[in-house]
Every structure is written in structure tokens, then in C-alpha cells.
Structure 1
């Protein structure tokens, strides 16, 4: 069952990303994953910023399975489907269960 839940989460995130990704010149695009320990969820956002303009952030999906193993698998599958950069917010002291690498290397300005 967990595999089908992951594939649904993955499909929602990826399909919404594809709709928003316009490939406009001089524009940066990335996916942001925010840890929400209060609601025990992970929130995915599609961010874009054209040179000289303000950041646009669009919510993509909320993942309610608050488990780092699950998130690690979901991110691995998402990276197979897209080459967009994935940034993390709120994960400064956490490590991926499989590789034990830090999830977020430095504190983001938004934290």
C-alpha cells in the first residue's frame, strides 16, 4: 500500500511541476521542500524567479506521511523524473536514514 501512496504523491508533485515549468530564459526554477514539525508533514513548493523580479512560490502538494525514510524514497524517485534543483527548509539537524548525509547543509535565510 505504501508504494501506491508514494506513487500518488510523486505523480501529483511531478504533474503540477510540469504544468508550472515554462522554460523562460533568465529564469531560475526549483522545488522547495519544507519540514512542518507542527503539522507533521512535508510541504512541496514550485519556485521560480526571473532575473530582476520577485520570487514566485506555488504550493504543489502536502505529504502527510511524516517519515524521513518515506521522504528519502520520494525525493529519489522525483530526482529520476526531473533535473530541477530541490532545496530543503527546516531540515538543518536531520540526516537521510539511508545515507546518513545531512539533508540541509546550511540555514536558509527564510528560517
Structure 2
């Protein structure tokens, strides 16, 4: 059951990235993963910013299973799917279960 849920979460995120990623020149693209401790979810966003324009942020998906091991598996699969940078917010002090590496290196100004 969990593997099927994971495949569905991953497939949705990958499909939405493919749809949004236009490879336009002078445009920066990255993913953002936000830990929402109140709703106990992980929220994924697709961000882009053309030179001299405002940043655009499009919600991709919300993962309802608030479990770092589950999230780590999704992230590893996403990293093999896309080379986009992943920015983490709301993960201050948290570590990946498999490597014990800090997830978020520094606090972002909007936290």
C-alpha cells in the first residue's frame, strides 16, 4: 500500500514538473519542499524566475504522509528524475534518516 502511494505521489510531482519546465533562456528553475508541521504535510512547489521578472511559484503536490523516511525516498527519486536544485524550508535542525545529514543548511529569511 505504501509503495503504491509513493509511486502515485512521485508520478504526480514528475508529471507536473515536466509540464511546467519550459527550458527558457535567462530563466532560473528550482523546486521547493516545505515542511508544514501544523498540517503534518510536505508541500512541493515549482519555482521559476526570468531575468528582471518576479519569481513564480506553482504548487505541485502535497504529501500527507509526514515521515522523513518516506520524503527521503521521494527526494532521491526526484533527484534522479531532474537536475533541478531543491530548496528546503521548515526543516531547520532535521536530518535525513539514512545519512544523518542536515536537510536544511541555513534558515531562510521568510521562516
TM range (shorter): over 0.9
Q: CA RMSD in A?
A: 0.6
Partner residue, 2:13: 13
Q: How many matched pairs? A: 111
Partner residue, 1:58: 58
Q: Which runs of 5+ in 2 are unaligned?
A: none
Give the alignment of 1:1-111 within 5 angstroms: 1-111=1-111
- Separation in structure 2 between the aligned mates of residue 55 and residue 109 of structure 1, nearest angstrom: 16
- Separation in structure 2 between the aligned mates of residue 72 and residue 110 of structure 1, nearest angstrom: 24
- Counterpart secondary structure, 1:65: coil
CA-CA distance at 1:110 after TM superposition: 1.8
Q: Which runs of 5+ in 1 are unaligned?
A: none
- Counterpart secondary structure, 1:80: helix
**What's the TM-score once normalised by structure 1's chain length?**
0.98
